[in-house]
Amino acid sequence: MSELKCKLLIIGAGPGGYVCAIRAGQLGVETIIVDSQAPGGTCLNVGCIPSKALIHAADQFHEIASAASGPLGISVGAPSIDLATTIAWKDGIVKRLNDGVSGLMKKAKVKHISGDARFLDGKTVTVQTSDGEQRIRAENVVIATGSSPTELPFLPFGDDILSSTEALSLQEVPKSMVVVGGGYIGLEIGTAFAKLGAKVTVVEATGQILPQYDSALSKPVSKRLQQLGIDVQLNTKASGFHKGKLQTDQGDIPADKVLVAVGRRPRTDSVGIDELMLSMDDAFIQINKSCQTSMRGIYAIGDVTGEPMLAHRAMAQGEMVAEIVAGHDLSWDKRCIPAVCFTDPEIVTCGVLPHELKGAKVSEFPFAANGRAMTTEREDGFIRIVARPEDDAVMGIQAVGVGVSELSATFALAIEMGATLQDIGATIHAHPTQSEGFQEAALRALGKALHI
């Protein structure tokens, strides 16, 4: 068996892994990256990108289908959709991005090996490739193996029981779909299929959809689900699936397809992490502020290290680790990581929530008072600022509304730069835009509200 040697070995070519590889290569670090799947990981191949493509297609279809009943005076015939064509379009986007990532890694002189890696010891892995077994010895190793959908023992994936991966590859719109789990993944996909014409039911074990958010943020989403004809059954627990019906403690629900979206689990078992005896936090790998594990020379980034399981967090960690391996003295000092829920309407959270800051100044500005929102027929939602009482420093920003995902960078930048309410209030915001709501929320907190 031949043995390759390198300074940096990355296991997993998802967002964290490939960014780490590209940056390391740019810095002149001899790098090998290993993954059995196409580059881009869950996010690019079967997660973030495919779901947003489906959401866009569903939004377009729904807008056409509902245009005749709106106030704009538009008349159209009943639309139809060939979902197989839509999925082929989505797959084309994924392929273009796959090729782009591969090209960037090649440009950075990163060696990409396709196969399944497994640790022999802290410096050595074996990779099962199509050409046989390959051994790699590295000075530094990054574990970036990501996560996979959580499977329920009484609803095993297969046939009509789907994970998000299978749901994003359906060739036809099912007549009915039950979504088990009222979190962001289930609601994003469930809403898309409802807009495409499926009868969608959401089953949530707790008393609130999107339980990670406060009720003020989830309320507009809940109202929109009702408008779309989605039946939400709270405090309801699924127990099985039999003869086209989801069984719950509140009765059976007919379903052609069942989407199980109850969370994700770190993907660590297949790479032999147990051989290393790393310090763990339940199923997650413990890391320090430099993403170093309990074993010298081994780093971990992304979903395997715990919440928040976000691609952009993994990317930032990957870039940082590459620079550390190249000899730079860095550590994690981010003030906030923006999170976006691509429901209808969208939700953005950045920094602290109101209940997390004692004596916080909290101010909201509703889109119902925003001219741009009115012109798009969608006035639901608001922008909220959470500021520190002693100096008006902005510590948290949340928003719910159509298109607010595009404001997430603005929110994160304000917190990272240490902006105050006065800074935001004094910044001229273009009119008419939804971003004006950000300025107005700051002015309202200062007692200087203009448009409310």
Q: Which residues of 21-51 are buried (b: 16+ CB within 10 A; e: fewer)?
A: bbbbbbbebbbbbbbbbbbbbbbbbbbbbbb
Sheet holding 176-180, edge to edge: 161-162, 257-260, 176-180, 199-203, 231-233
Please give the order of strands across the beta sheet that includes 245-248: 238-242, 245-248, 251-254
**Residue 431 among the catalytic residues:** yes
CA-CA distance, 104 to 109, in Å (whole number)?
Answer: 9
Cis, peptide link before residue 345, omega less than 30° from 0: yes
Q: What whole-number distance in Å separates Cα of residue 213 and Cα of residue 209?
A: 9
Query: Pairing state of beta strands 394-401 and 31-35?
Result: unpaired
**Measured distance CA(215)–CA(154) in Å, rounded:** 30
- What span, in angstroms and rounded, lies between the C-alpha atoms of 43 and 342? 14
Question: What are the beta bridge partners of residue 362?
Answer: 386
* CA distance linking residue 13 with residue 39, whole number of Å: 5
CA 353 to chain centre: 19
Residues 329, 320: Cα–Cα separation, whole Å:
10
Q: Which residues of 116-130 are buried (b: 16+ CB within 10 A; e: fewer)?
A: bbbbeebbebbbeee
Q: How many other CB atoms are found less than 10 A from the CB of residue 367?
A: 26
Confirm if 420 and 439 have CB atoms less than 8 A apart. Answer: no
Cα atoms found within 13 Å of the Cα of residue 401, Cβ hemisphere only:
30
Estimate the crossing angle of helix 215-227 against helix 184-195, to 10 degrees.
20
Q: What CA–CA distance (Å, rounded) separates 165 from 54?
A: 12
Catalytic residue among 112, 328, 355, 431: 431
CA angle, corner 356, sides to 353 and 358, nearest 5? 120
* Secondary structure element (H or E) that encloses residue 200, with its range: strand 199-203
DSSP 3-state of 399: strand
Q: Which residues are catalytic?
A: 431
